[in-house]
Structure 1
């Protein structure tokens, strides 16, 4: 049997209790994926089964997200006064000029998300993966004026050494693992460590809408149900609730309307919860649970 060796088993009940800022127990963040794709090759989510390349139907559907859907989501977040963690393919700066700048102007957190979502990093050898991380990080650092603190691999793709490479590249947290409702320290080689912040795979529009074929209304209802339940559960422990969005999916009008209603439900509870970013969660958790 093999084991990842990154963290020991620890049931949630019985862990040390701490609060989020403002003596709150539920932290909520929106993760908005801004991604770019190769035309005529590589990976990409599908609205319908694609034909031979170039797969115009699905490429254009995804491209609509950056040209239209992302801007509608930006306006929705503005209206709800909600921050976001923007998970950025570094090639977006070249492919979609002005897009990241619009979210930067809101003060949103910029998170590393590889070069493009046409590729997986976990299939690369160590040198190639290190180079991918370095390339993407260098572009984000140059464009944003500071290095990103967090990383989500394209397609949640990790090799056995990804946490080591991220820690060695200066990252303070990663988002790929959905194994807990609290931030958890990962051990990395040579005595290092990196924090894993919970990233949702259930409250994520690709698994929900593309894979399970949920409607936009069903996805929104799941967000509300999860929030109400986690708000109750957080009375006994600090919890993290993430919501993962892709503009080409939930930016569509028929899905944006119920999503707005779900997020408005959360926003109405802002006095009793911490609506924040993944990076702020990581920073606070690292200070509260340093070991």
Structure 2
């Protein structure tokens, strides 16, 4: 937080919804620094292993909204994982962008049954999944 603040930079905080309650000090520091909170699942579990994705997405959005006072605009699935339905469920829940698709250096519009969602540029080289996989 201090390093970014010293450079007048804001971060996007990919956070599991459960973290807002389990680690409030870390989340308060991010919120107070003006960081954007991005949904990262409710718990750290690949989306294809979540029994009810719709409920987990809603639970994550609710936890972040309750903690920050506003819903997250973006989403990065744990392990960058999705199912065929994940994007549709995210768009239906009001998520505007995702960071799961490592496919281009420019934003790309993806079609869902609820309208468009944007894939933001993201490289797997800066993701912890490379270290832990």
Q: Does 1:120 align with 2:60?
A: no
Runs of 4+ in 1 over 6 A off after TM superposition: none
Q: Which runs of 5 or more residues in structure 1 are unaligned?
A: 1-73, 213-291
Q: Which residue of 1 aligns with 2:125?
A: 202
Equivalent-residue separation in structure 1 for 2:6 and 2:70 (angstroms): 28
Q: SS at 2:24's partner residue?
A: coil
Q: SS at 1:142's partner residue?
A: helix
Equivalent-residue separation in structure 1 for 2:63 and 2:132 (angstroms): 32
Matches within 5 A, 1:159-178: 159-178=83-102
Q: Which residue of 2 aligns with 1:78?
A: 5
CA-CA distance at 1:185 after TM superposition: 0.4
Does the Cα contact within 8 Å between 1:179 and 1:198 map onto a contact in 2? Answer: yes
Which of 74, 78, 86 pairs up with 1:154?
A: 78
CA-CA distance at 1:206 after TM superposition: 4.2
* Residues paired across the two proteins, number: 133
Equivalent-residue separation in structure 1 for 2:113 and 2:97 (angstroms): 15
Q: SS at 1:202's partner residue?
A: helix
Q: SS at 2:110's partner residue?
A: strand
Q: Which residue of 2 aligns with 1:4?
A: none
Q: Which residue of 1 aligns with 2:63?
A: 139
Equivalent-residue separation in structure 2 for 1:138 and 1:159 (angstroms): 22
Equivalent-residue separation in structure 2 for 1:205 and 1:93 (angstroms): 20
Q: Which residue of 2 aligns with 1:100?
A: 27
Q: Which runs of 5 or more residues in structure 2 are unaligned?
A: none
TM-score (norm 2): 0.91
Q: Any idea what the Cα deviations from partners look like across 1:98-137, whole Å, max 9, x if unmatched?
A: 21111111111111111121x1112345xx1101101111
Equivalent-residue separation in structure 1 for 2:128 and 2:93 (angstroms): 30
> Which one has more relative contact order, counting CA pairs under 8 Å at least 6 apart?
1
Equivalent-residue separation in structure 1 for 2:32 and 2:132 (angstroms): 33
Q: Which residue of 2 aligns with 1:180?
A: 104
Cα-Cα RMSD: 1.7
Equivalent-residue separation in structure 1 for 2:11 and 2:26 (angstroms): 14
Q: SS at 2:3's partner residue?
A: helix
TM-score (norm 1): 0.43
Equivalent-residue separation in structure 1 for 2:127 and 2:98 (angstroms): 17
CA-CA distance at 1:77 after TM superposition: 1.3
Equivalent-residue separation in structure 2 for 1:202 and 1:120 (angstroms): 19
